[in-house]
Structure 1
Amino acid sequence: MREMKVLVTPTSLCQNPDGEALRALRAEVAEVVLNPFHRPLTQAELAELLPGVDGVVAGLDEYGETALAVADRLKVIARYGVGVDRVDLDAAAARGITVTRTPGANSLSVAELAIGLAFAVARGIAYADAGVRAGEWPRINGRELTGGVFGVVGFGAIGRLVAERARGIGMTPVAYDPFLPDEAFAAAGVERVDVDELCRRSDVVSLHVPMTPETRHLIDERRLRMLPPDAIVINTARGGLLDEAAALRALDEGTLFGVAVDAYETEPPSASPLVGHPRVASTPHSGGHTREAVQRMTEQSIADLLTVLRGEISPNAISRTSI
C-alpha cells in the first residue's frame, strides 16, 4: 500500500497533523493529504482534492455525484462517525467505492450529551451562565425532570443508552423505532410506542434517527402541538429532523419549555432561527467530540480504510439496504 494516497478531512484529526494516528497512517501509505479548510468540504472542494486519491477518512463532507465523478482511483470512503446522509451511496456503489462507518464509537458520548442538554434546558444553565458572566444576577425558573416521561425517537445503540440514563435520573423512558422487533424493547425494559403517542406523553423528546426523506421534519408543527405543556425537545442526531421554524413558534407561544440543538438544518447554523433564543441550548455538532470517542472513531475509521485498501472486506462496510 505504500504507493497509495489518502485524504483525511475530519477537523478533529487534522488539528493534530503530527499526532499518533496520522503517524501510523503515514507508515502504511505513501502520502496523506489533510483538509486545508478546517471545516467540512463542499462537493466542489472535494472535486479538487479527490483525483489521484485511493482512500478517504471522511468527516461531514458532501460526497455526491459531482465529487465522486472525478474520483478516478478512490476505493474507500471511511466515515469518521456513523452518519452517511452526506454520502451518495448509489453513486459510490456504481463506482465500486466501499463506504464504511464507525458504529458504536461515539454512542456513549452522544447519549451523555443528550442527557446533559436535558438538564441544561430544564435549568436554563446556558442562559444563567451568560447572565452571570455579564455581571447580572438572573432569576431562572427551571423545571425538574424526575418523575417525567423521556421519549426516545430511534432505539439504536445511542437511543438505548439514552433510555438507560433517563431511567437513572428518575424518568420513565418510552421509545419509537419502526425497524426493530418487539424483543429489542422488551429486552431493554422500555415501552414501545408510535411517534405520535410518544409526543403526546413525553416531557422530554430526544431524537436519534438518521436523516432521510421520511424523517425530515419528523418533529413538525403538528407533533410539537401534541407535546405536554412545558416539554423539551433535543436534537443530537441530524439537522432537519426538527422543524426549527415551528419550534421557534412553539417557544414564543409558550407551548414548549425549551429546545436543545447539536445538529442544525444548516451548519454552521447562521440561519437557524433557534440560536440565541433564551430557552435554547446550542452546541456545535459536538455529540461525538470527547477524547474517548475521538480515539475510538480514529482507530476504527483508519482500520476500515486500510482493510479495504488491502483488498479485504471491512465488517463496517455498508450499503443502501443496511442503513
Structure 2
Amino acid sequence: MKILISDGLAQKGIDLLSSVSEFEVEFRPGLSAAELKSAVSDTEALVIRSGTKVTADVIASASRLRVIGRAGIGLDNVDIAAASKRGIVVMNTPDGNVITTAEHTVAMLMALSRNIHQATTSMKAGQWEKKKFLGQEVYHKTLGIIGVGRIGRIVAERAAGLRMHVIAYDPHLEPETIQKLGVVAVDLKELYQRSDYISVHTPLTRDTKGLLNHEAFAKMKEGVMIINCARGGIVNEQ
C-alpha cells in the first residue's frame, strides 16, 4: 500500500508506518493544491493534519485512494461527502490530543485573567506596570462551555478544580447528561448572559461557523473573556 503523508507528523509516527513492510511511505509536507492532486494519483492512503485541504478535486484525482487518516480531531478540511461517494473511508483520532487541548484551554484562561502576554511584553520593554496588569481571580467566576464533547468535559473538570462555576450548552446532549458531569446545563442565550469566560469546543460546521458573532457578543457580559481552542471560523472576528 502506498501511503502519502502530506502534513507535518512526528517522526515516531512516520517510523511506525515505515516499519510495516507492506507499506510504501512518502513524506511530502507543504504541497500546493496542484502538487497534491498529482501526488495522490497513485496513492492508496492519505495521512493529513489540518494543513492539507482534501477537496472534491483532490479526491477526483485519487483514483486508487482507499482511506484518508486525519492525525487529529477536526475534519473540516476534508470533503467527506465527496469521499463517501467514492467509498473512501475517512477517519480521525478523536482521543489523540484531548488532554493537551483541554490543558491549553486552561492555560489560555489563566493567561487572559492575569494579562500574562501584555505584562511580559511590558517587562521586556523595561517597564514594571504591576498595577496595570493585576488581572483577576478565576475563583467563583462563571465559565460557559460551548460543546461538551471529549475536550469540553475535561475543561469542565479542570475548571471545577479551580472552584469555578461551570455552565454548558450542547445541542446534541440532553440536559440530564450534562448535569451528570457536575455541570449546569443552560441554553445558549443564558450562557452568553451569565458567563465571565466562554470556552468553545465544537467542530466547525455549517451550524457553528460564525456562531460567536455581533448578535452573540451583544448578549454577553461587558468584559467577558473568550477562549477558542477549537476552530477559528467559529468566531466572527469582524
**Matching residue of 1:211:** 204
Tell me the C-alpha RMSD between the 2 structures. Answer: 1.5
Correspondence for 1:125 among 108, 112, 116: 116
Give me the TM-score of the superposition, normalised by structure 2: 0.93
What SS is found at the alignment partner of 1:56?
A: strand
Structure 1 residues 118-150: Cα deviation after superposition (integer angstroms, max 9, x where no partner): 111111101111222232223314122111110
Q: Does 1:5 find its partner at 2:2? A: yes
What SS is found at the alignment partner of 2:180?
A: helix
Letter in 2 for 1:21: G
**Matching residue of 1:307:** none
**Matching residue of 2:25:** 32
Is contact 1:43-1:64 (8 Å) kept?
no
Is contact 2:175-2:185 (8 Å) kept?
yes
Structure 1 residues 86-143: Cα deviation after superposition (integer angstroms, max 9, x where no partner): 1111100111110011112211111111111011111110111122223222331412
With 165-174 and 223-232 compared, the bigger mean Cα shift is at 223-232
Letter in 1 for 2:152: G
Letter in 1 for 2:176: E
Residues 239-254 of structure 1 mapped to structure 2, 5 A cutoff: 239-245=232-238
Letter in 2 for 1:23: D
What SS is found at the alignment partner of 1:215?
A: coil
Is contact 1:75-1:97 (8 Å) kept?
yes
Letter in 1 for 2:160: R
With 127-136 and 189-198 compared, the bigger mean Cα shift is at 127-136
Q: Distance in 1 between matches of 2:126 and 2:8?
A: 35
Q: Does 1:179 find its partner at 2:176? A: no
Correspondence for 2:46 among 56, 76, 80: 56
Correspondence for 1:224 among 200, 217, 231: 217
**Matching residue of 1:146:** 139
**Matching residue of 1:21:** 13
Letter in 1 for 2:158: R
Letter in 2 for 1:63: V
What SS is found at the alignment partner of 2:101?
A: helix
Q: Does 1:83 find its partner at 2:86? A: no
Letter in 2 for 1:115: V
State the 1:42 CA deviation: 5.2
What SS is found at the alignment partner of 1:240?
A: helix
Is contact 2:7-2:29 (8 Å) kept?
no
Structure 1 residues 215-242: Cα deviation after superposition (integer angstroms, max 9, x where no partner): 1111111111211122100110011111
Q: Distance in 1 between matches of 2:114 and 2:64?
A: 52
Q: Distance in 2 between matches of 1:214 and 1:42?
A: 29
Q: Distance in 2 between matches of 1:176 and 1:129?
A: 34
Residues 171-320 of structure 1 mapped to structure 2, 5 A cutoff: 171-245=164-238
Give me the TM-score of the superposition, normalised by structure 1: 0.69
What SS is found at the alignment partner of 2:41?
A: coil
Residues 157 and 36 (structure 1 numbering): CA distance in 2 closer, same or farther, change over 3 Å? closer
Letter in 2 for 1:66: D
State the 1:30 CA deviation: 4.1
Letter in 2 for 1:54: E
Instruction: Specify which structure has the bigger relative contact order, considering alpha-carbon pairs within 8 angstroms and separated by 6 or more residues.
Output: 1
Report % sequence identity. Answer: 36
Gaps of 5+ in 2: none
Count of residue correspondences: 234
